[in-house]
Amino acid sequence: MGYDDEYYEDDGEFQDEDEFDIQTKEQLRNRLIAVACSAYGISAAVHIGLLLILMTIIIAVPEPEKEAVVIAKREVKPQEYDEKLKRDMHKTPKIQAEEVVEKPIIVLEEEVEVTKDVPKGTDLSNLSNKNLDSTSVVDAYGVGGGAAGAYGQRWGKGSLAREGGSEGTESAVTAALRWLKFHQSPDGRWDADGWTANCSRGPTCSGPGTNLGDARYDVGLSGMALLAFLGNGHTHRFGTFKRTVSRGLKWLKRQQKADGSIGFDHGETIYNHAIATMAICEAYAVSRDFTLKRYAEKAIKFCVEAQNPGLGWKYGVRSGRNDTSVTGWMVLALKAGKTAGIKVPDKAFEGARNWFARATAASGEVGYETPGGGSAFLPQNDGKYDPSQCMTGVSVICRIFTGERRSEDGIRKGARILSENPPTWKGTNYRTVNFYYWYYGTYAMFQVGGEKWKAWNKSMQEALLPNQRMGGCEDGSWDPVGEWCLAGGRVYATAINALTLEIYYRYERAQAH
């Protein structure tokens, strides 16, 4: 008998076992149903269900927390300050080649849109020559650039050397900012007649000239000092001196009155308001700190309301009189506001141009209150200083920045006059020292450019760099021997000269129209 037959014979036995199994299974099923319907069964089912649910829950073991990595702009470290470094015009830094980045770093920062509401005669070619905290257009001279300095520019590396600066000029700026920092008052101001209380690096600062200024101009001096820091790329949010700038801005904001004026009481204190407005508007423009906006708006509104209809400004609100000096500062304040996005009526700039045209003589000389009729001066200094072409410098730069062509007759003649009267400071002969004139003239001649600028720049450096104080508590300052130092003292001399030496990387030249 084979395998198949044996399997077949056993088949009957398997059928009998199946029948037995079916009966047994039915009994077991009935018994299970009875148990399941009892209290014990229900309880067991509930517990088993809960157990199954718990088994599906995955308990995640937390990974060790990783330290957050912030990716941001690489800050270029400035050259280390050395008070013994010679501050001259002969040291030219090497222009480093652009670094090639194979895998660009994604920069996470607030994106700020460039305002389309740009004053006449300005465009993106007037952007500052610096790496800014924002992309705002800053095209008014007297207000600085953004968070950078001479070590990196929006327009490419090498601007410092390319435009005529040097390691010596930048060392002089750094020294001046350090001096201003060390002589800031605890409340944030620069105290015209009390700053010597902050001398802490040796005996009290001393030297020729009028060390202390007039207390009425604390606001203007503080604004000018802040502009010097802002112009070198230090804001209240960025830079080596951000704490200094922050304290100064807080003090300046506290000085604003309900009508929007800052530091203005009467008469000549209108200068306080113009310069403080410039500082606040610039700080707002480059930092985009919107807590500054309302201060800037109120300050600009006061400027507009103080203007004589169709003309310029003088002391007071719509006094009916005009002068080139006050008008120049007001134009710069309004331009700073405009570039910060504050609304400024076009007629304000048109009125200023009308005044500059009226104050210009046929020769191209610009007067203080009349055509070609002399410059501004302090009565106490009458006869002590040689006449300057300061008002001509004011007119040239303001005309360019309010949209006039450099080929205009008044600008061409003005540039020629300035080039014939370059900065001069020889030894203890202070008759030709006028920091105010050199500041305006430097910014005007930079815009003119060409050989005239190169010659002016050389004279300006030869006047300022060798005469900056080195060593002691005075290190970085300039002796207040100039014509306007009677009002502002050593703080004024140091702040305005720092602004002058920041010309190389602050602004792109306005395009010819």
**3-class DSSP state for residue 69?**
coil
Q: What is the pLDDT of residue 92?
A: 40
Would you call 17 exposed, middle or buried from its count of C-beta atoms within 10 A (0-12, 13-18, 19+)?
exposed
Going by C-alpha positions, the residue among 324, 327, 325, 275 that lies closest to residue 306 is 327
Comparing 220 with 402, which gets the higher pLDDT?
A: 220
- 249 domain-assigned: yes
Could you report the per-residue pLDDT of 397-425, keeping only the tens digit for each?
A: 999 989 899 999 999 999 999 999 999 99
Comparing 240 with 25, which gets the higher pLDDT?
A: 240
**Bridge partners of residue 149, in order along the sequence:** 152
Take residue 473 and report the two structure tokens written for it: 């508590």
Alpha-carbon distance of 74 to 97, in angstroms, equals 17
Rounded average pLDDT over 289-293? 97
pLDDT > 70? residue 483: yes
Render the burial of 58-92: b for 16+ CB within 10 Å, e for the rest.
Answer: eeeeeeeeeeeeeeeeeeeeeeeeeeebebbbeee
Q: What is the pLDDT of residue 118?
A: 35
Q: What is the pLDDT of residue 43?
A: 72
Alpha-carbon distance of 319 to 307, in angstroms, equals 8
Going by C-alpha positions, the residue among 353, 243, 235, 241 that lies closest to residue 286 is 235
Where does the pLDDT of residue 29 fall: very low under 50, low under 70, confident under 90, or very high at 90 and above?
Answer: low
CATH code assigned at 457: 1.50.10.20
pLDDT > 90? residue 215: yes
Alpha-carbon distance of 336 to 39, in angstroms, equals 86
pLDDT > 50? residue 512: yes
Note the pTM of the prediction, 2 decimals. Answer: 0.74
Alpha-carbon distance of 233 to 253, in angstroms, equals 20
Helices (H), ranges, 307-449: 324-339, 346-359, 390-401, 409-419, 435-448
Q: Report which residue type is found at 63.
A: E
Q: What is the pLDDT of residue 378?
A: 67
- 30 domain-assigned: no
Cα within 13 Å of Cα(55), Cβ side: 6
Q: What is the pLDDT of residue 128?
A: 39
pLDDT > 90? residue 48: no
The whole-chain average pLDDT of the chain stands at 80
Could you report the per-residue pLDDT of 347-356, keeping only the tens digit for each?
A: 999 999 999 9
Rounded average pLDDT over 275-296? 96
Take residue 396 and report the two structure tokens written for it: 């040239």
Take residue 500 and report the two structure tokens written for it: 């002058």
Alpha-carbon distance of 501 to 439, in angstroms, equals 9
Maximum alpha-carbon separation in the chain: 148
Q: Report which residue type is found at 302.
A: F
Structural contact between residues 298 and 261, judged by C-beta atoms closer than 8 angstroms: no
- 201 domain-assigned: yes
Comparing 273 with 163, which gets the higher pLDDT?
A: 273
Structural contact between residues 352 and 331, judged by C-beta atoms closer than 8 angstroms: yes
Comparing 4 with 341, which gets the higher pLDDT?
A: 341
Comparing 339 with 5, which gets the higher pLDDT?
A: 339
Residue 389 phi/psi, 5-degree rounding, is -100, 40
Going by C-alpha positions, the residue among 322, 327, 404 that lies closest to residue 119 is 404
pLDDT > 90? residue 305: yes
Residue with token string 């013994």: 84
Q: What is the pLDDT of residue 124?
A: 31
Q: Report which residue type is found at 129.
A: N
Q: What is the pLDDT of residue 173?
A: 97
Q: What is the pLDDT of residue 10?
A: 38
Structural contact between residues 271 and 326, judged by C-beta atoms closer than 8 angstroms: yes
Structural contact between residues 147 and 288, judged by C-beta atoms closer than 8 angstroms: no
Where does the pLDDT of residue 24 fall: very low under 50, low under 70, confident under 90, or very high at 90 and above?
Answer: low
Task: Return the percentage of the chain with pLDDT > 70, whole number.
Answer: 69
Q: How many domains does the chain have?
A: 1
Would you call 5 exposed, middle or buried from its count of C-beta atoms within 10 A (0-12, 13-18, 19+)?
exposed
Alpha-carbon distance of 333 to 140, in angstroms, equals 8
Between the alpha carbon of residue 388 and those of residues 193, 366, 377, 385, 436, the distances in Å are: 27, 11, 10, 9, 10
Where does the pLDDT of residue 162 fall: very low under 50, low under 70, confident under 90, or very high at 90 and above?
Answer: confident
Alpha-carbon distance of 137 to 440, in angstroms, equals 21
Q: What is the pLDDT of residue 4?
A: 43
Would you call 54 exposed, middle or buried from its count of C-beta atoms within 10 A (0-12, 13-18, 19+)?
exposed
**3-class DSSP state for residue 47?**
helix
Rounded average pLDDT over 437-452? 96
Take residue 69 and report the two structure tokens written for it: 């990595």
282: left (phi over 0), alpha (psi -120 to 50) or beta: alpha
- 58 domain-assigned: no
Query: CA 509 from chain center: how many Å?
Result: 18
- 175 domain-assigned: yes
Would you call 228 exposed, middle or buried from its count of C-beta atoms within 10 A (0-12, 13-18, 19+)?
buried
- 326 domain-assigned: yes
Q: What is the pLDDT of residue 30?
A: 67
Structural contact between residues 230 and 282, judged by C-beta atoms closer than 8 angstroms: yes
Alpha-carbon distance of 192 to 201, in angstroms, equals 19
- 392 domain-assigned: yes
- 433 domain-assigned: yes
Could you report the per-residue pLDDT of 86-144, keeping only the tens digit for each?
A: 666 544 444 344 444 343 333 333 333 333 333 333 333 333 344 344 433 333 333 33
pLDDT > 90? residue 469: yes
Alpha-carbon distance of 288 to 297, in angstroms, equals 14
**Bridge partners of residue 366, in order along the sequence:** 360
Q: What is the pLDDT of residue 290?
A: 94
Where does the pLDDT of residue 372 fall: very low under 50, low under 70, confident under 90, or very high at 90 and above?
Answer: confident
Name the residue range of residue 501's domain. 126-505
**Bridge partners of residue 262, in order along the sequence:** 256
Q: Range with the lowest mean pLDDT among 18-32, 165-179, 195-209?
A: 18-32
Positive or negative, the Cα torsion across 366, 372, 373, 375?
Answer: positive
